[in-house]
Amino acid sequence: MECNVIQTDQAPSAIGPYSQGISVGSWLFVSGQLGMHPQTGELVSHGFAPQARQALENLRQIVLAAGCDLDCVTAVDVFVTDMGDFAEFNEIYTEYFSEHRPARAVVEVSALPKDAKVEIKCIAYRGLI
C-alpha cells in the first residue's frame, strides 16, 4: 500500500521531521497537534482551554484535508501536563465529539514541545476509497 502525506495550511506546519498526517489505504494517522495558531506557529494562549480547543481544531482540519470528518475518527490519544485539566478537557472535547465517541486515552506527561499544556493525535478510518 502507498503512503500519502496529508498537508494543509489550515493547521500548523510540523515543528519537526514528521508529517501532519499520513494515509495508508483506508486509514489516516494524524500526528500530535498542539494548540498552535496555523499561521503563526505559536501557541494561541498560555491557558489550557484555548490550547485544547485549538489543538482539536488543528486535528479536525487535517482530518478534513484527508477527505473525512470527525465521524471517521476511531481513536484519540491525548497528552496533558496536568491531569487536573481532565474535567475541563472532557467539556471541550464534547464540542468536537458529542454523539460520535472514538476510543480514547488521556495520559499525563511531564512536558510537551513549546511548553504546551495539551497534545492530541488520532487515527481515522476513511472507509472504502
Q: Say if residues 75 and 102 touch (Cβ distance below 8 Å).
A: yes
129 pLDDT above the threshold of 70: no
Where in the chain are the domains? 3-125
Could you give the strand order of the β-sheet that contains 118-125, starting from the edge strand earlier in sequence? 3-6, 21-24, 27-33, 118-125, 73-80, 103-108
Mean of the pLDDT values across residues 57-72?
Answer: 97
Place of cell 491525548: 78
Query: What is each CA distance from 24 to 5, 27, 116, 128, in whole angstroms?
Result: 9, 5, 29, 12
Q: What is the pLDDT of residues 10-56, one digit of tens each?
A: 999 998 899 999 999 999 999 999 999 999 999 999 999 999 999 99
CB neighbourhood size of 123 (10 A): 16
- Architecture of the domain spanning 3-125: 2-Layer Sandwich (3.30)
1 pLDDT above the threshold of 90: no
- pLDDT (0 to 100) of residue 126: 87
Integer-rounded Cα Rg, in Å, for the chain is 14
pLDDT band at 73 (very low <50, low <70, confident <90, very high): very high
Give the chain's mean pLDDT: 96
- pLDDT (0 to 100) of residue 105: 98
Q: Say if residues 95 and 68 touch (Cβ distance below 8 Å).
A: no
